Amino acid sequence: MKLIAATGNAHKLAEFETITKDFGFELFPKSAVGLGDYDPEESGETFAENSLAKAKAICEKCGFPSIADDSGIVVDALGGAPGVRSARYAGVHGNDRANNAKLLAELADTPVERRTGRFCAVVTIVWPKDTPESGYPFFASRTDDGYPYIQGTGFVEGHIGFEEVGSNGFGYDSVFIPLGFTETFGILPAETKNAISHRANALLAIRSQLLRA
């Protein structure tokens, strides 16, 4: 299946490609269809809303099936923040260093047993609305204006460390220690992260749906 990836994040695209290498997907960056500078608005209140909006916006622009995710970190002691605002938590979209610094500052007086949280990802595939029924799963939902889509959700539980550790990955990887490990995603090998991550679990949920089709 040929899919246009709605992300402009090279790290995220690389993870998509690695995780889906055996899925039968052929992924292309949005720049391949002339949309490299186009960033769909993320105005939803949930990961699912934002993921769908991004995939649909790219699909609508280019006319090809598109895949997008929206993801972030949810911290229990902060009432679920940063949540859907993870990428712009400190005010500037994609400033990982500032976002991590703000998160650590807000948790400065929080003991380890209360630093629990999770990464969450929702992945969406959207097909053009004129796609024949044989071209998408029979159980696909439709947007109000007729675009077929499916979604998969994934989580990875863990807790927030007391400082940034490691340079692997991106986003909040250097402060997140997944359950069952003692090192952050910033230290753990990419192979380990891609086997247990929220994005991997969301993509596996997508794959399991496609296998039903």
Select which of 69, 70, 96, 173 is catalytic: 70
Q: Name the residue among 119, 132, 94, 104 with its Cα closest to residue 10.
A: 94
Q: Name the residue among 37, 40, 72 with its Cα closest to residue 53.
A: 40
Q: Name the residue among 153, 156, 158 with its Cα closest to residue 204.
A: 153
Instruction: Enter the tokens of residue 161.
Output: 């460390």
70 is annotated as an active-site residue:
yes
80-83, long-range: CB < 8 A, 24+ apart? none
Q: How many CB atoms lie within 10 A of CB 13?
A: 17
Catalytic residues: 70
